[in-house]
Structure 1
Amino acid sequence: MLFRLSRPMDIDPASQKILDIAAFAECVRNTAGALYAAGVRPGDRVAVYKENHFDCLLLAAAGIRIGAIPVMLSGLLPPDTVRPLLKRVEPKLLVSNLRLLEEKGSDGSSLPSFAAQTLCLDGDVPNAITLGDVLGGPEPSPVPRRGDELMMLTHTSGTTGIPKLIMYTPDKLQGQMARLECRHLPPITDRRNDTVAMFLPWVHARAFTWIYSTLTLSPAKVLLMSESSAEVVGPMFQQHRPTVIEALPIDFLQMEKLASENKGDAFSSVRMFVGNFDAMRWSTIRTFLNASKHRFPVWREGYGQSETGGMGMTAITRYRANKRRDQMPGPRKVGRPMPGFVQLKVVDPETFKEVPNGRPGLVLALTKARCVGYYQEPERWQEKAVGDWWNTGDIGVKTRTGALKLLDREVNYVSGASCLEQEDVIVDYLPIGHEVALLPVPDGPPVVVVATPDGQLDRKLWKKAVRGLPELAEPIVIDFKDMPRTGTGKILREELRRRYLSGAGHPGTGRWT
């Protein structure tokens, strides 16, 4: 199995772009030696806050190898969000890039001041060491840990403020989450003749469960992508025809024009698209399925949370995606819970008693993969832990056949409506490159923020897009690049409220966000 990188890794002095498993293992050993030479010892926290690439995962593996606890932080997090997280974990070592290290917080603070030592991977920064200073030393012996010991911290999306840091143990991450990923279930898992293209926030726990499944299922070729621009994706996919593509919604959005124009048939060989992290628009799903020349391409949509891993899955065919264009899509179906792994139930938000099928309520999940807590924030964990069940903070409906349909996050839910459904309808009638976010308010119609490629909105198209929908306030139009997003590309609706609604209240309580 060969891995091809869209660009060389920041921790590899040889700047290789084609590696096998043995080369990655050597890189982990060398990096472990570098971390040890930088003063990291068992039990120390190592914060990884760098440009997104596969080497984030290898840095974590190197830290775990010597008994340290990697703290994985997305390079897309803004400075004032990263600083309180670093203050919370008090890292022995911060690993970062020149660009991020040079950014100042609103209080003028610099990142190196939040760690005992800082390692810059691509330049010289005052009060920091370079990779060349610590590479080449002796290889430290591996430090094993028990299955119930803390192994790693990653952060939540942070859609409503400072992210939480999730605590993962080997029993949870490897023993449960990854075990589900490693099952061979054709045609919705990797085959040995597949070429898999992977776009991920490489600091996320999903990256770690994915690499376990990839090493187990062993596809022929893996394309490790650090960006999703057409300039990078087009040539890469023409040279190495992917048969499976997994990406975030924001990545698919950035590749959508390439897929619609079908330049060089970049997506013609794809038999399966995989969407994770957030709801994907029907228009985008349709574009990619229609770009494939496979006889029966499928779109696999996952439902899960960082604290629980996968909770449900559904598959969408090209026929179904094209048919949905001619009808109201209805609440978004996320599939059925994984048999033997997950149970889901819908309860009344006030009494927490289970409601009948067809009635909206809070979605609770029961899974052995549930993580062990939020680092130094037990009260926030207890707010969402309902005995052995996990409060997802989603409002959904369970059908008679056991499938789950999502309506909204509890904080945004308005009885009798679904913002997710209305957003799907609106985007379906707008050109590629448009995105919308509905912001319900306690008194009045929802406010809709429309992001367009140039900050302009065709009013005739807008009237067509909202025809037949409940009343909406006059749209607020912004440039697509100005839509605030999390490190995983989710829209920061709280930031939109702050910018455009002067802090107007929510229809829900927001207790479980």
Structure 2
Amino acid sequence: MDIDPLDQRILDLAAIAECVRNTAGALHAAGVRPGDRIAVYKENHFDCLLLAAAGVRIGAIPVMLSGLMLPDTVRPLLQRVEPKLLVSNQRLLEEKGSDGSALSSFADRTLCLDGGVPNSIAFADVLGGADPTPVPRRDDDLMMLTHTSGTTGIPKLIMYTPEKLQGQMARLECRHLPPITFGRNDTVAMFLPYVHVRSFTWIYSVLTLSPAKVLLMSENDPEVVGPMFRQHRPTVIEALPIDFLQMERLAKENKGGAFSSVRMFVGNFDAMRWPTIRTFLNASKHWFPTWREGYGQSETGGMGMTAITRYRANRRRDQQPGPRKVGRPMPGFVQLKVVDPKTFEPLPNGKPGLVLARTKARCVGYYKEPERWQEKAVGEWWNTGDIGVKTRTGALKLLDREVNHVPGGSCLEHEDVIVDYLPPGHDVALLPVVDGPPVPVVASPDGQLDKAQWQRAVRGLPELADPIVIDFKDMPRTGTGKILREALRRRYLNGADHPGTGRWT
């Protein structure tokens, strides 16, 4: 942790609480007062969450920004929030925007956690101050800002209150529902963007459900993960798509059985490809391992969940593929309905349309962008921007994002099929266009694609354009591993129009 001068690697709750109190004192000494906004933009370590807790403790409003975002993306967000204090580290503070400006120029003061940056306050110089009296806030007060993924442009800043974040989103996380939640005997390994709202709801579940041990991971390098997992034997692993992709080689080799004790893998933020799900479930030696996949958005929290068994994952290739099932809405918490994108009239089961959600956990707005919020808020319902189908049993199947949807098909489903039949290490993004078949962008380990393998992978699918082949590392992604389809469209299709309206992205 960058805020711990003792450099502790093993902490109990008392040590974590002490770290938060010390950091609250340091923020107060740096001039932060109740109501001030603190922008946290640093390396993705667990202490991002503790910095937020320290800010909330003294009545400030943390603005959580991923350290993976480029300065040109961070700058407009800082301009929007006008922070009293920017908390960062030397590497990020020394990066310049395309216009040569430094990020520190967009905050009243800058706190550098590892020192060495001119005109900034060194964190070590403000540590040791008295812990100020905690400042409580009302349930409907603004508590924190986090940002959306930004797959279609500059991210939005989401506003959370204690009632929404603690009273609703976290309440669902804290239910004891074995075996889909963890218990007191579990060792939980967590890979997260620790600035994301998911990390805040997750920490409430840790404090409530009390697993035996938590492995706080900020690296997905197999050379780091392997020894850690062989020593501590996780039983539950939650990670991003990009983390699972990086660890896939370790799961295939399974040297020393790094994943042998895992009873549940948890995927969030984006759907994982079937070959990867299959690899991890087969690496477990548990008698009944499952893959739990959640459906939700930062604005609403969890909206649905499905569990994939090892049997289902291994059988999928031989069964008739279908749209990605994301499960049923949480009973008593969430309602989902599918409506006509033009009239917003409800559609019968089996007919594709826009997915709307109604949940008490819906956040309160986009910071200083009320017009973007009103575009997606439909009374008490929330427009997810997804196209989906409800089954007769109430389950939801996702077809596409509205902006990329072509009536009569599902690019997400076709991508699943293609990747399942290509050799390991490949990924694909289908880019629909208005006046022709979708254009596949194929990422391969060496930037090459075998024509025979491609023909086998697309056999039986609707017509596709000739594939554009790139190196796997050149596939543009967000910090959580989502493919930046708009970046691909600009780069390879000259910004060709997509078939949807894009109003609700």
Tell me if TM exceeds 0.5: yes
Partner of 2:44: helix, strand, or coil?
coil
Correspondence 1:144 to 2:136: yes
SS of 1:216's equivalent? helix
Matching residue within 297, 310, 332 for 1:340: 332
In the TM superposition, residue 325 of structure 1 has moved relative to its aligned partner by 1.6
Post-superposition shift, 1:95? 0.7
Question: Per-residue deviation at 1:459?
Answer: 2.5
1:84 is aligned to 2:76: yes
Cα pair 1:166 1:307 within 8 Å, conserved? yes
Question: Residue 107 of structure 1: which of 96, 99, 108 is its match?
Answer: 99
Aligned-residue offset at 1:329: 2.1
Shift of 1:460: 2.5
In structure 1, distance between residues paired with 2:247 and 2:436: 36
CA contact (8 A) 1:256 1:432 kept: no
The C-alpha deviation readout for 1:393-439, integer Å capped at 9, x for no partner, is 00000000000000000000000110100110111112332211110
Which residue is equivalent to 2:365?
Answer: 373
> Could you tell me how far 1:191 is from its partner in structure 2?
1.1
Give 1:487 deviation, angstroms. Answer: 2.6
User: In the TM superposition, what is the alpha-carbon distance from 1:490 to its structure 2 partner?
Assistant: 1.0
Moved more, 471-480 or 27-36: 471-480
Structure 2 counterpart of 1:352, one-letter code: F
| One-letter identity of the residue aligned with 2:29 | A
Moved more, 425-434 or 294-303: 425-434
Q: Is contact 2:115-2:121 (8 Å) kept?
A: no
Which residue, out of 112, 115, 130, partners 1:123?
115
Find 1:153's aligned residue among 126, 129, 145. 145
Aligned with 1:127: secondary structure? coil
**2:222 paired residue number:** 230
Question: 1: distance between equivalents of 2:271 and 2:489?
Answer: 20
Q: Deviations over 1:171-223 (max 9, x none)?
A: 00000000000000001000110000000010000000000001111000100
Find the partner of 1:205 among 175, 197, 202.
197
Q: Matched residues in 1 for 2:187 and 2:318: separation?
A: 34
Aligned residues with identical type, % of pairs: 86
Q: CA deviation at 1:119?
A: 1.1
Deviation at 1:322, TM superposition (A): 0.5
Residue of structure 2 equivalent to 1:357? 349
- Which residue matches 1:478? 470
Mapping for residues 8-19 of structure 1, pairs under 5 Å:
9-19=1-11
Q: CA deviation at 1:461?
A: 1.9
Asked if 2 retains the 8 angstrom alpha-carbon contact of 1:328 and 1:425, the reply is no
Is residue 404 from structure 1 mapped to residue 396 from structure 2 by the alignment? yes
Decide which of 433, 442, 446 is 2:438's aligned counterpart.
446
Deviations 1:238-261 (A, max 9, x none): 111000000111111111111112
CA distance in 2, matches of 1:172, 1:402: 26
What are the Cα deviations for residues 6-45 of structure 1, in whole angstroms up to 9, with x where unaligned? xxx1111111110000000000000001111111100000
Alpha-carbon distance between aligned partners in 1 of 2:447 and 2:103, rounded to the nearest angstrom: 34
2:328 aligns to what SS in structure 1?
strand
Distance 1:224 1:194 in 2: 14
Whether 1:429 and 2:421 are equivalent positions in the alignment is yes
2:2–2:114 contact (8 Å) kept in structure 1: yes
Give ranges in structure 2 of 5+ residues lacking alignment: none
Q: Would you say 1:32 and 2:32 are equivalent positions?
A: no
Contact 2:267 2:294 in 1 (8 A): yes
1:214 aligns with 2:203: no
1:297 match? 289
Is 1:174 aligned to residue 169 of structure 2?
no
Q: Which amino acid is the alignment partner of residue 220 of structure 2?
A: S
Gaps of 5+ in 1: 1-8
Match of 1:280 in 2: 272
SS for the counterpart of 1:19 is coil
1:288-339 residue CA offsets vs partner (Å, 9 max, x unmatched): 0000000000110100000000000011100011110213420000000000
Equivalence for 1:6: none
CA distance in 2, matches of 1:137, 1:22: 19
Query: Could you tell me how far 1:469 is from its partner in structure 2?
Result: 1.3
> Which of these residues, 316, 330, 342, is aligned with residue 324 of structure 1?
316
Q: Is the 8 A contact 1:40 1:93 kept in 2?
A: yes
- In 2, the alpha carbon distance for the partners of 1:328 and 1:431 equals 20
Residue number in structure 2 paired with 1:382: 374
State the distance in 1 between where 2:490 and 2:480 align.
Answer: 20
Q: Aligned to 1:310, what secondary structure does the other structure show?
A: strand
What is the one-letter code of the residue matched to 1:42? P
Aligned to 1:94: 86
Q: Distance in 2 between matches of 1:42 and 1:452?
A: 51
Q: Which of 441, 455, 463 is residue 463 of structure 1 equivalent to?
A: 455
Inter-partner Cα distance in structure 1 for 2:328 and 2:192: 24
Residue 42 of structure 1: which of 29, 34, 38 is its match? 34
- Kept in 2, the 8 Å contact 1:86–1:115? The answer is yes
Return the alpha-carbon distance in structure 1 between the equivalents of residues 27 and 474 of structure 2.
37
Partner Cα distance (1:62, 1:90) in 2:
19
Instruction: For 1:75, give the aligned amino acid.
Output: G
Cα deviation, residue 365, structure 1: 0.2
1:257–1:432 Cα contact (<8 Å) kept: no
Q: What is the SS of the residue equivalent to 2:202?
A: helix
Aligned to 2:502: 510
2:257 is the alignment partner of 1:254: no
- 2:156 maps to a residue whose letter is K
- In structure 1, C-alpha distance between the alignment counterparts of 2:445 and 2:72, rounded to whole Å: 28
Q: Which residue of 2 aligns with 1:501?
A: 493
Between stretches 274-283 and 337-346, larger displacement belongs to 274-283
* 1:4 aligned partner: none
Q: Secondary structure at the match of 1:440?
A: strand
SS of 1:258's partner is: helix
8 Å Cα contact 2:49/2:194 also seen in 1: yes
Q: Deviations over 1:421-465 (max 9, x none)?
A: 011011111233221111000011111111122222233222221
1:511 shift after superposition: 0.1
- Superposed CA deviations along residues 248-298 of structure 1, whole A, max 9, x for unmatched, are 111111111111121221101000000001111111111100000000001
Distance 1:359 1:352 in 2: 13
- Provide the rounded CA distance (Å) in 1 between the counterparts of 2:445 and 2:231: 29
Q: Match of 2:54, SS? A: helix
- Conserved in 2, the CA contact under 8 Å of 1:313 and 1:335? yes
Whether the 8 Å contact between 2:37 and 2:60 is mirrored in structure 1 is: yes
The question of whether the paired residues in 2 share the 8 Å contact of 1:344 and 1:363 is answered with: yes
Compute the displacement of 1:99 (Å). 1.3
SS across alignment from 1:73? strand
Root mean square deviation, CA, Å: 0.8
Q: String of CA shifts for 1:471-491, please: whole Å, max 9, x gaps.
A: 111211222222111232211
